[in-house]
Amino acid sequence: MRPAKILIASGFASALMLSSVAVQAARNVTVELNVGPPPVVYEPAPPPRVGYVWAQGYWDYDHGHHAWRKGHWERERHGQQWSQAQWSERDGHWYLNRGHWEHY
């Protein structure tokens, strides 16, 4: 392979990795508000599915308002556990910790 093609290919691969990291980082940003979320919407969890974990629905905060995100399946990750999204209140401020994978 010619050096120019190698440089282009490696630059493209680097750009893909960086965009993947940026998307993952954006998903894990904690939201802080002065108003809490609406009441939780009841969604019955489906029966267990081999190789997957159920991520419960939750109230997200998007473009200036709360938006319900329906529950969905996440493929299991070896050596990690799913942490459900949750809102918490501290000193009059509400914080959203979106669902994410944690190493154990």
pLDDT tens-place string over residues 1-60: 565 554 444 444 444 443 333 344 445 667 888 889 999 999 999 999 999 999 999 999
Asked if the structure places residue 11 within a domain, the reply is no
Residue 13 domain-assigned (yes or no): no
Is 51 within a domain?
Answer: yes
**Does residue 95 lie within any of the structural domains?**
yes
State how far the alpha carbon of 58 is from the alpha carbons of 11, 15, 18, 68, 95, in Å: 38, 32, 28, 6, 13
DSSP bridge partners of 82? 101
81 within some domain: yes
| Domain contains 98 | yes
Helix segments in the chain, DSSP class H: 3-27
pLDDT at position 90 over 60: yes
Computed over its alpha carbons, how large is the radius of gyration of the chain? 19
How many domains are there within the chain?
1
Rounded CA-CA distance 56/44 in Å is: 9
Mean pLDDT, to the nearest integer, of 68-86?
Answer: 97
Q: Which residue has the higher pLDDT, 25 or 94?
A: 94
Comparing 26-30, 78-82, 83-87, the range with the smallest average pLDDT is: 26-30
pLDDT (0 to 100) of residue 13: 46
CA 16 to chain centre: 19
So what's the pLDDT on residue 79? 97
pLDDT at 29: 63
40, 59 Cβ separation under 8 angstroms: yes
Q: Averaged over 87-103, what is the pLDDT?
A: 95
Model confidence pTM above 0.75: no
**In which domain, by residue range, is 92 found?**
29-103
